[in-house]
Structure 1
Amino acid sequence: MKKLLTMFFTFLKIGAFTFGGGYAMIPLIEVEVVNKQHWIDKEEFLDIIVISQTFPGALAVNSSIFIGYKIGGVVGALLALAGVVVPSFFIIIIIAYFFLQFRNNLIVDLVFKGISSAVPMLILVAVISLSKSLKKELSTVLMILLTVIAISVLDIHPVLIIILSGIYGAVFLRKKVN
C-alpha cells in the first residue's frame, strides 16, 4: 500500500509541475520513476515511452498507466492515472474560471511566455536522454536521419512514419534479435 501511495504522489507531482504536454514530462517522469524510485530501468522506460506514443491519448496518461500497472496492477494503473490527471483537471478548472479576468494581464502573459520558452528545452532534454539508450548502429542513425527528413522536409505525417518504422523493425531487424 505504501508503494502505491508513493506512486500516486509521485505522479501527482509530475502532473502538477510539468507544463508543455507529454514530451515535456518525459525528463521528469524519468527522474522520478527510473532514477529516484528505481521502479523501472532506463531500457524499460524507453520501451514504455515508445509504446505510449503509439497508442491514442496523451503520452503522460499512457505512460503513467503502463508504469502504474507494472508496479501495482490495475489499482496501480488507476492510481498513477489519477495522480497525473488530477492536477491538470483542477488547474484547467481554475484557469477557465479566472481566464476572462486575467486574459489581458501583462504579468500573466509574461509568465506564460517564460514557460513556453522553456518547454522546447525540456523536449530537447528528453530527446537527448532517450537517445543515450539507443544502440549506436548505422541502422539506428539512418532511421533517425530518415525520420527527421521525412517529417521536416517531406512533410510526411508522423503516424505514417511510426507505421513504416514498425514494419521496418519487424522485417529487417528481426534477424538481429534471433
Structure 2
Amino acid sequence: MAMLRTGILGYGGGPSIVPLIRYEAVTRFQWMKDEEFMEVLAIANALPGPIATKLAGYLGYRLKGVGGATIGVLAHIVPTCVAMVGLYAFIQFFSTSKVIKGMIAAVVPIVAVMLAVMAYEFGEKAVKGLGWAAGIVFFIISFLLLQTFSVHPAIVIFIFLLYGSFHHKLKDKWKKKQLGTGDDV
C-alpha cells in the first residue's frame, strides 16, 4: 500500500517522489532509520534507472524478498502508467487551454520546495555527524565537482561513499590512539 500511495500521489519524476517514499519507509512504517534511507538513496542515485522505482524495489525486497520487490515496483509504477495514459489524452484534448498550461507550470515550485526541504534535512544530519566545518567543506567540494568540473552526480556520490567508508575507519583508529588502546604502537 505504501508504494501504491507513492505511485498515486507522486508527481514530477523520481526526485519529487523520494520524500514521499522516505515518509512511508522512515516515518510512517519505520522500516528503516533515516540514516539508512540516506545510504540507500545514495546507492540508488549512483545506479542507472529511475530512483523511485529502485527504492520501491529495494523496500519490497527488504520486506518480502523477490515477490515483495515485484509487488513494490508494480504497485509504484502501475498507477503512474494508468495516469499518464489518461492525462496524455486529457492534455491532448485541451492542449490549447491556458488553465492546463498554468496547472503544469504550478507544479514546478512545489517540487522545488519538496526537494529543498529534503536537502536541508539531509544536510542537517550530515552537519550533526561531521560538524559544521566538514559539512561546509564537503558542500563546497561537491558543488565544485558538479557545477565547475561537470562531474556526473553518480561519480560524486561514489567518491563521498568511498570517503565515508574510510572516514569512519580513520576516525575509529584515531579514537583508539587517543585513548591509548591502539595496537599500532
Into which bin does the TM-score normalised by the smaller protein fall?
0.7 to 0.9
* Residue 149, structure 1, aligned to residue 144, structure 2: yes
Calculate the TM-score normalised by the size of structure 2: 0.81
1:41 is matched with which residue? 33
Superposed displacement of residue 85, structure 1: 0.6
**Do the aligned partners of residues 50 and 159 (structure 1) sit closer, same or farther apart at CA in structure 2, a change above 3 Å counting?**
closer
Runs of 5+ in structure 2 lacking a partner? 174-185
Amino acid at match of 2:141: L
Tell me the CA shift for residue 119 of structure 1.
Answer: 0.9
Over 3 Å counting, the alpha-carbon distance change for 1:12 and 1:133 in structure 2 is same
Q: 2:113 aligned with 1:121, yes or no?
A: yes
1:93 maps to which residue?
85
After TM superposition, the structure 1 stretch with the greater mean CA deviation from structure 2, 46-55 or 157-166, is: 157-166
- Change in Cα spacing, 1:136 to 1:21, as seen in structure 2 (3 Å) is same
SS in 2 for 1:133: helix
Percent of matched pairs sharing the same residue: 21
Match of 1:175 in 2: 170
Pairing partner for 2:54 from 53, 62, 74: 62
Matched, 1:136 2:136: no
TM-score, scaled to structure 1: 0.84
Which string of whole-angstrom CA distances, capped at 9 and with x for unpartnered residues, describes residues 37-65 of structure 1? 11111111111111111111111011111
Alpha-carbon shift at residue 122 of structure 1 (Å): 0.9
Q: Displacement of 1:104 after TM fit?
A: 1.4
Q: Distance in 2 between matches of 1:41 and 1:163?
A: 21
Higher relative contact order (CA 8 A, sep 6+): 1
2:102 corresponds to? 110
Superposition RMSD in Å: 2.0
AA matched with 1:162 = I
